[in-house]
Amino acid sequence: MTSLTTVPALIAGGHAPAEDGLALEQVVDRFRLRISPAMTAALGSDGVARQFVPQPQELQIRPEERADPIGDQTFSPAPGLTHRYPDRVILAVTQICEVYCRFCFRRETVGATGILPDADLEAALAYIAATPAISEVILTGGDPLSLSPRRLGMVLDRLQAIPSVETARIHSRVPVVAPERMDAAMIAVLDRDLPVHLVIHTNHPDELTEAARAAIRRLNRAGIAMFSQSVLLRGVNDDADVLEALFRALLRNRVKPYYLHHCDLAEGTSHFRTTIEEGRALMALLKQRLSGIALPHYVLDIPGGAGKVMLTPAHAECTAPGQWQITDRLGGTHRYDDPERG
């Protein structure tokens, strides 16, 4: 089975209605389409299909939505680099993913180019080396594990040579959506003196296919520390039973649930967003059912770049129906509005 990358292929495969064809062509003209073979095979699950199959609702762009919802560019000292927190940076080593999620907060840029050009990579590495406060480098993109083992190994070698860098973190969907890439060559690149922590993005238990679980086992046997991050998505996992099944499955496979993200204000994604109160209610139910090691933190990336906060009463106060005052880590306050429902 090959990747699905066109609307006619989606329609021919029975994954989208023919009457939506024109609207879906408009959607993918703006927000790219790519569904890996592994996830194409899993599209019989509504929880999987809704994440990857384009929908006409994506043409509805709301005023509060942003091309750069978490402010990556606001804190970018060099191409591909974001330095928002004093001790860590984000390094986008590629813009390619094995799948393009319909809710992605970088959906305006993923797929637009390929790997970070060598000159830009050199500038980013020079900045990291010249800033000794940086002890952690988070590789993202795009998806870092879509790189060849040679390219990824070169980047990790360069980071390992910087004395102030103590750990690397890789954010990736690949072990789940393209598990065949987790072969001996890739795992050998990750098994190194520099601690590499892998944060796997997965949102629904049906994504954790037999092949995905086998890939995660291979990573575990190599001693790679693994965590997960998920996005709370209306119609996908905004259900306590679904989230419980996901977090239990992750823990069974030695992956610690780490973050449950409130859906970002990416353009054309309002149909995915829940309210904060709905998210809190789900977390309250999960706390009754799951042990602490199976529970992620429910967090919001504050629009504009003020950083990530847990959506607890200490950081999120409801000031009016559908309106919230969010307090960032430095004590600044920001207004956040729940999505309007028509």
Instruction: Give the model confidence (pLDDT) of 71-102 as tens digits.
Output: 888 999 999 999 999 999 999 999 999 999 99
Catalytic residue among 308, 318, 328, 338: 308
**Catalytic entry in 72, 206, 238, 264:** 264
* Confidence check: pLDDT of 320 > 60: yes
301 is annotated as an active-site residue: yes
Q: What is the pLDDT of residues 135-166, one digit of tens each?
A: 999 999 899 999 999 999 999 999 999 999 99
180 Cβ neighbours under 8 A, 6+ residues apart: 38, 211, 215
Residue 140's alpha-carbon distances to 77, 91, 252, in angstroms, are 16, 6, 26
Identified catalytic residue from 32, 50, 102, 106:
106
181 within a domain of the structure (yes/no): yes
pTM of the predicted protein model? 0.96
- From the candidates 50, 101, 102, 258, which is the catalytic residue? 101
- Listed in sequence order, the residues at least 6 apart from 315 whose beta carbon sits closer than 8 Å to its beta carbon are 309, 326, 327, 328
Q: What is the CATH number of the domain that holds 261?
A: 3.20.20.70
Within-domain flag for 262: yes
224 falls within a domain: yes
318: annotated active-site residue: no
Whether the per-residue pLDDT at 266 is higher than 70: the answer is yes
302: which 2 tokens? 């504050």
Is pLDDT at 342 greater than 60 in this prediction?
no
Q: How far apart are CA 94 and CA 35, in angstroms?
A: 18
- DSSP class of 92: E
Distance CA 215, CA 226 (A): 12
Per annotation, catalytic residue among 20, 85, 120, 218: 85
pLDDT of amino acid 46: 98
Catalytic, out of 68, 280, 301, 336: 301
Please state the domain count of the chain.
1
Structural domain for 104, as ranges: 65-308
Reading the block at residue 64, the tokens are 């509060």
- Assess if residue 197 is contained within a domain: yes
Better-predicted residue by pLDDT, 2 or 281: 281
| Per-residue pLDDT tens over the stretch 278-303 | 999 999 999 999 999 999 999 999 99
pLDDT tens track for 212-253:
999 999 999 999 999 999 999 999 999 999 999 999 999 999
pLDDT at position 341, please? 66
30 belongs to the catalytic site: no
- Whether 59 contacts 25, CB under 8 Å: no
Catalytic entry in 100, 102, 104, 263: 104
Catalytic, out of 72, 97, 273, 280: 97
Determine the Cα–Cα distance for residues 14 and 8; give it in Å rounded to an integer. 10
In the residue annotation, 287 being an active-site residue is answered as no
Contacts of residue 42, defined as CB under 8 A and 6 or more positions apart, other chains included, come to 48, 206, 207, 209
Is the model's pLDDT at 187 over the cut of 80? yes
Closest CA to 142 of 189, 109, 179: 109
Check pLDDT > 90 for residue 113. no
Q: Which residue has the tokens 């984000």?
A: 90
d(CA 76, CA 172): 21
**Does residue 320 form part of some domain?**
no
Catalytic, 254? Answer no
* Alpha-carbon span 156 to 69, nearest angstrom: 28
336 counts as catalytic = no
Query: Does any domain span residue 94?
Result: yes
d(CA 200, CA 189): 17
Compute CA distances 130 → 124, 133, 163, 266, whole Å: 10, 9, 11, 33
Residue 19 has pLDDT above 60, yes or no: yes
Annotated catalytic residue: which of 32, 34, 84, 173? 84
Active site residue 84: yes
CA distance linking residue 39 with residue 50, whole number of Å = 11
Q: Is 101 a catalytic residue?
A: yes
Residue 218 lies in a domain: yes
Output the six-digit token pair for 84: 């928002």
- For residue 42, pLDDT over 90 is answered with yes
| Average pLDDT of the residues in 23-27 | 98
Residue 301 φ then ψ, to 5°:
-85, 110
Output 303 or 3, whichever has higher pLDDT: 303
Separation CA 204–CA 61 (nearest Å): 26
Task: Look at residues 234, 239, 227 and name the one whose alpha carbon lies nearest to residue 294.
Answer: 227
Residue 93 located in a structural domain: yes
- Average pLDDT over the chain reads 96
Structure tokens at 260: 């449950």
